[in-house]
Structures are given as structure tokens and as C-alpha cells.
Structure 1
Amino acid sequence: MITVENVSKSFPSAESAVTALRDVNLAVNAGSLFGIVGPAQAGKTTLARCVALRERPDRGTVRYDGMDTSRLAGRRLWGAQRQVAIVDPVLRPERTVAGNIAAPLERMGVELDRRRSRVGVLLDVIGLSRSGARLPSELTPGQQRRVAVARALAAAPSVLLADEPTDGVGAEESASVLSVLDRARAELGATVIVTSRDADIAKRICDEVALLDRGSVVESGTLLSLLGKPGSQLAEVLLPSVDTPRAHLSSYDRAVDVVLVGFAAVGALLPEASARFDVGFTTIGGGLTRLGDTPVARFRLGVEGQRADAALAWIAERGAHVSTPMYGLRDVAA
């Protein structure tokens, strides 16, 4: 596990110091795919570099399985840094795809047969098994980025850091880049940390996420735990919009917002509650999305029937998040 404890970091500027991080606390579970999201200048890259042991915090510490990395220096620090690979999107243009991936192994003095075997495994992971002899100039931007990920994974690091992994990659290729990061975690056992201005990336591949703004952690946790958290900014960004004019609610006994997670809940919970309690549910806002492979729905429902409270309590007992919509407030999105 990686723990970030009260980390602060500032950088000098012409006029005064610029604070990049303010008392940041985080916990990244081993083997997870963790997203750090937020707007530009939020401190995402600085936090990632502190976690990767490429920046020293001014205050606080980063621990790896309890080890205080602020006490490391010299060869011990270098050894710890080798366990954290950073995806560098710049490939060497004169080297083939296989040559780029093999470069870290060559610097380590790994023998030829082992290099070839490792490169073959990684070419398969990134879906480019037949492209080892091609040059980077012959690849699409998305393919180039996948090669950069494979190169970072060559030395089998414990932690892989991808800063804005889909930057400069078209929307049609972004999914393949994110899929490679997911495979790095699932098949190679790496803990993967992704930073991005786009919270949708977290929705597509991350288990856990932290929202950073102006150097501070606004909220963090597993994606599924944040869905029903009142006032969650990440939930507002990740879930379908439920905005509806207040006038649309006047014909119903009451209105509620409901978040349903999982195939069974999305497909059956509301119809079963309706039949069981003789209550009518009308969808007046919201929709369906996915968090990874998990279907998630957020609906604004008009509810009619004398047993509405009992029906809503029943679905809440079965894992639905039920809340009353608020008006006159503007939510802030990352």
C-alpha cells in the first residue's frame, strides 16, 4: 500500500512561492487502478511525482508498505525509484517498437533471450504482437502511447504512473490506451496511478479516485462508495445529469433521485418495488452509464402512491441511494 501523509509542496517563482500541494492525505491500495483527477493546475502531476519519488515534499511523507521514503537516500532511494515507472510518451524514432520496449532492459544488462521474451509478453499485452519491427513513425498516436506504456513496464515495476495517458490521442483510440493500463494491473500485477483532467477516465477504468483542486484533496474513495455520497462532486461529474425544471414535478406526489448499482438493481429493483407496494415510478430525468464493467443508473423519479415511503425504504435497504432533489443550488464539477 502507498500512503501519502500530510504532503505539502511549493515551488519558487519570480514573485513568491507557488503552493502545488497542501496537506494531502491519500491511500492507494496495492494492485489497484487509482485515478487522480481535477482541473489544470490542481497539483495532480506534482502529487504523482511525489508518489513516484521524483519530487521531495516540503513537508509530510510518502510511505510504501509502511516504509518512510523521506529517509531514503543514495542507492536505497534509487532502488525504490526503480520500482515506480513513469510512462514517457516520447519514443526513440530510430528504434523499432521492440527496440523501444527493450531499451530499459538493455540498460539493466538483461541478456538477449530474456529481453526478447519480455518484449514478446509486452507486445501481446498492448495488442501489437505483429508490430515489433515497425518504427514509431508508422504507428498511430494511440499505438505509440501503448508502446510507451509497454516500455515503462519492461522492468516489471511495482507501480506504474501514467500522467494524462490519453493526451494527444484521439477519442477513438483512447479506449485502447486505457485498456492497456487496465491489463497492466490485471495481468502484470502493477499498481497503476493515472492522472487526468478528464474525470471520465476514472469512470472507465479506475477502482479508486481522488479529486484534487488547488493542491488539496476535495474527496477520495472507491468510485462506488462516492456514488451515494451527498454533495459528491465526482458523482455529479460521473453520473448522468438529472436536471429537470421544478414545474415538471408538480403532477407527482413527490420526487426523488435514485442511484442504482449493478445489473440486478438497474434491471429489476424499481419494477419489483412498484409491484410490491402498488406505487408508480415515472422517470423524469437521468439515465444509464457504466463504471468499468458495472452498470449504474441515476434517475429522477416522480413517485405516486400511498405507500411511496415504504417502497423507497425497501429499495434503499437493497442498496439503492435515495435522496430528495434540491433546487436553487449550482453544483461544482471537476
Structure 2
Amino acid sequence: MITVENVSKSFPFNGNRVAALRDVSVEVQAGSLFGVVGPADSGKSTLARCIALQERPDRGVVRLDGLNTGTLDGRRLREIRRRLGAVGAKSELLAERTIAGNVAAPLEQLGVDGPQRRSRVGSLLDLVGLTARAGQKPGELTDGQRRRVAVARALAAGPAVLVADDPTSGVAPEDAGAVLAVLDRARAELGVTVVVTTQDAGVVRRVCDDVAVLDNGVVVERGSLLDLISSPASWTAQAVLPSIETSRAQAAKYDRSADVVLIGFATVGALLPEAATRFDVELSTIGGGLTRLGDTPVARFRVGVRGERADAALAWIADRGAYVAQPQSVRGPQGVAA
């Protein structure tokens, strides 16, 4: 587990100190894929560097499995850093070396022998889907492929934690999905805890279990992704769920209208039709849509209900685990792309 406790960090700028993180606290469960999302200059990269032990906070503590990393120095600090892999927004591969050679570089530094090194490189290139590119140079690959090589290199020494700072930044949309799939495979197949920072809520929607939203160096929201999207008013819900655009005239055609969030295969497919039949009401979706959080289908609809038992139908839907609320105008975190 990674525990960030009341971490603050500032940097000098034009003779003053500018705060990048302000009293930030988050917990990252072992084996999870944790997303830190927020607009540019919100402190995401600084938090990533503090977790990766590339920066020391001014105040507060970063703990790895309970160990206070702030007390470490010298050889002990170097040993702990080997448990942490890091990938930046730029892949920074060695241009003169092959793809296999780039992945092998950390193993060479650790003195791993040739046969073991070649076996490890082969398995990692298979993990990132680039076995056929092993003999090529970085300049022959796309930005997304180079980012996947950087992930393989960061995993070479077998870290327990991988910190990926904005891993899809500058990557073409058709390649971004492959980069995220590699991070998910590292978590699923290698048991690595993954921390990913991003401005793009689509990254969170596709691969993250838990999320923290940063704005101006402050955590404004954190928790399980599925818990946070259960409330349509949350910033996370506004960033990752389908938008709802309906007019008052549309809603006025019904006895009741409500915003409903449905999670899971059975709930999304069956709950609304069953409510209409059970309470003998007309129930129509008048806004919203469907998406997926990882492999889980999620819907946010604005529903209109017509009939004497409209209130009872909506209450029954809420009792079955859906989130039901009166329509309201809310906004997500500024600068987060949905």
C-alpha cells in the first residue's frame, strides 16, 4: 500500500515559493490501478514524483507498506527506489540502442546475466506487444509504441509499483488504448500497483479502480470510481459519465423526471423496464447515455415517468441500488476532458 499523508511541496519561482501540493493525502491499495486526474498545473506530476521518491515533500510523509520513506537515505533509499518504476510523459529511450537493448539496460546495470536478461526482456516485450519490434530502433516506432517500450523498461527490474505520469500525452488516439492496455496488463499479470496521472477523464474511465481529483494542488475528491460516479453531482461523475442535455419542455411532458445512474450488466439492461411493468407507468429515457468503466457498463439517464405511481416507481429503482435524483445543473472539474 502507498500512503500519502498531508504532503505539501513548493518550488521557487521569480523569487517566491509556489505551492504545487497543499496538504495532500491519498491511499493507494496494493494491486490497484489508481488515477490522479486534474487540469494542467494541478500538482499531478509533483505528486507522481513524490510517490516515485524522485522528490522529497516539504512537509508530510510518503509511506510504502508502512515504511516512512522520508527517513531513508544512501543505500537504503536506493534499495527502496528499485521497488518503484517510473514512466514520464516523454519516453526518453536511448536512440542508438534497439528496443530490446533499451528494455535490457536496467538489467545490465543490476548485473543480471545474459540468459536471464534475455528471458526477462522477451517476456516484457511480449507483455507490451512489441516482440516483433525487438531489433528496431526507437526512431522507427510511433509515439505510442515508444511509450510502451518505456513501460517495459520501467518494469524490467520487477518493481512493486509503477508510476506513469501522463502516459497518453502526445500519443495518437489509436495508440493510446494500447498504452492503457499495457498498464492494465502489468497490474493484472504482474501484480504491480499502478499510479497513473492524467488530464483525460477517458483514461480514468477505461482503466482506473480508484481516483483522486487534484485542483490547484488540493485533493478535491477521492475514492472508488464506482462510488464516486454514484452521485451525479460529484466532479468525477461529471467528468466520466455521459452528459445529459434535455429541455424543460421535454421534462414537462411527464409527471416526474429524474436523473438515474445505473451500474452493472443486470441493472443497466433490466431495472427501468421492470419498474415500468411493476408499477404500470410509462417510463422513457429523455437524455443521457451509456458508457463503460473498465469492463463494467454504466448508464446515466434522465428519465421521464408518466402515471399515478410515478413516485413509487422511482423509489423502487433507488431501493434496487440505482442513484436517483432530481435534475440539476452541475459541472465537473474545470479543464478535465471527458
Same fold (TM over 0.5): yes
- CA distances 1:271-321 after superposition (whole Å, capped 9, x unpaired): 011101111111111000010111100000111111122212222122111
Three-state SS of the structure 2 residue aligned to 1:40 is coil
Match for residue 294 of structure 1?
A: 296
**Counterparts in 2 of 1:182-201, with a 5 A limit?**
182-201=184-203
* Structure 2 residue 158 is matched with structure 1 residue 161: no
Q: Which amino acid aligns with 1:207?
A: D
Give deviations 1:218-260, integer Å, cap 9, x for gaps: 1011110001225201100100011222222111101100000
Whole-angstrom distance in 1 between the partners of 2:209 and 2:15: 40
Comparing 41-50 with 139-148, greater Cα deviation is found at 139-148
Structure 1 48/200 Cα, relative in aligned 2: closer, same or farther at 3 Å? Answer: same
Which residue of 2 is the match for residue 276 of structure 1?
278
- Contact map agreement 2:99 2:137 (CA 8 A) in 1: yes
Secondary structure at the aligned position of 2:260 is classed as: strand
CA contact (8 A) 2:237 2:332 kept: no
Report the equivalent of 1:41.
41
* 1:103 corresponding residue in structure 2: 105
2 CA distance for matches of 1:129 and 1:194?
25
Higher mean alpha-carbon deviation, 246-255 vs 27-36, is at: 246-255
**Quick check: 8-17 or 250-259, which moved more?**
8-17
1:105-120 correspondence runs (5 A): 105-120=107-122
Task: Report the alpha carbon displacement of residue 332 of structure 1 after superposing the two structures with TM.
Answer: 4.5
TM alignment of 1:127-206, pairs within 5 A: 127-206=129-208
Question: 3-state SS of the aligned residue for 1:12?
Answer: strand
Q: 1:229 and 1:259 mapped to 2: Cα distance?
A: 8
Residue 44 of structure 1 aligns with an amino acid whose one-letter code is K
Partner of 1:17: 17
Deviation at 1:330, TM superposition (A): 5.2
AA aligned opposite 2:314 = L
Distance, in Å, in 2 between the alignment partners of 1:330 and 1:230 is: 10
| Structure 1 residue 139 displacement after superposition | 1.4
Aligned equivalents of 1:136, 1:59: Cα separation in 2: 39
Aligned residue for 1:51? Answer: 51
State the Cα RMSD in Å.
1.2
Relative to 1, partners in 2 of residues 1:332 and 1:139: Cα closer, same or farther, differing over 3 Å?
closer
Q: Determine if the alignment matches structure 1 residue 77 to structure 2 residue 55.
A: no
Partner Cα distance (1:283, 1:236) in 2: 19
Q: Which residue of 2 aligns with 1:309?
A: 311
Quote the Cα distance in structure 2 between the aligned partners of 1:49 and 1:134: 30
Q: Percent identity?
A: 63
For residues 154-202 of structure 1, give each alpha carbon's deviation from its aligned partner in whole angstroms, at most 9, with x where no partner exists: 0000100111101121001110010000001000111001011111100
Looking at structure 2, the residues matched to 227 and 280 of structure 1 have their Cα atoms a distance apart, in angstroms, of 27
TM normalised by structure 1 equals 0.97
Matches of 1:324 and 1:273 in 2, distance apart? 18
Q: Partners in 2 of 1:330 and 1:30 — Cα distance?
A: 32
d(CA) in 2 for partners of 1:170, 1:123: 21
How far apart are residue 140 of structure 1 and its match?
A: 1.6
Match of 1:262 in 2: 264
Superposed displacement of residue 331, structure 1 = 5.2
Instruction: Work out the CA distance in 1 between the residues paired with 2:305 and 2:229.
Output: 22
In structure 2, what residue type is equivalent to 1:187? E
- Amino acid of the residue matched to residue 156 of structure 1? G
Give unpaired runs (5+ residues) of structure 1.
none
Larger displacement relative to structure 2 (58-67 or 109-118): 58-67
TM-score normalised to structure 2 length: 0.96
CA apart distance, 1:15: 3.4
Aligned match of 2:62: 62
Unaligned runs of 5+ in 2: none
Closer/same/farther in 2, CA of residues 284 and 47 from structure 1, 3 Å limit: same
Over residues 104-147 of structure 1, what are the superposed CA-to-partner deviations in whole Å (9 max), with x where a residue is unaligned?
Answer: 00000000011011011101101112221111122121111111
Q: Aligned partner of 1:140: which letter?
A: T
> Which range moved further: 214-223 or 128-137?
128-137
Code of the residue aligned with 1:227 in structure 2: it is I
Equivalent pair of 2:259/2:301 in contact (CA under 8 Å): yes
The C-alpha deviation readout for 1:54-89, integer Å capped at 9, x for no partner, is 111111101111111111111111111111111141
In 2, Cα distance between the equivalents of 1:34 and 1:290? Answer: 17
Letter in 2 for 1:2: I
Secondary structure in structure 1 of the residue aligned to 2:13: coil
Residue 249 (structure 1) aligns with: 251
- 1:140 and 1:11 map into 2 onto residues whose CA distance is 34
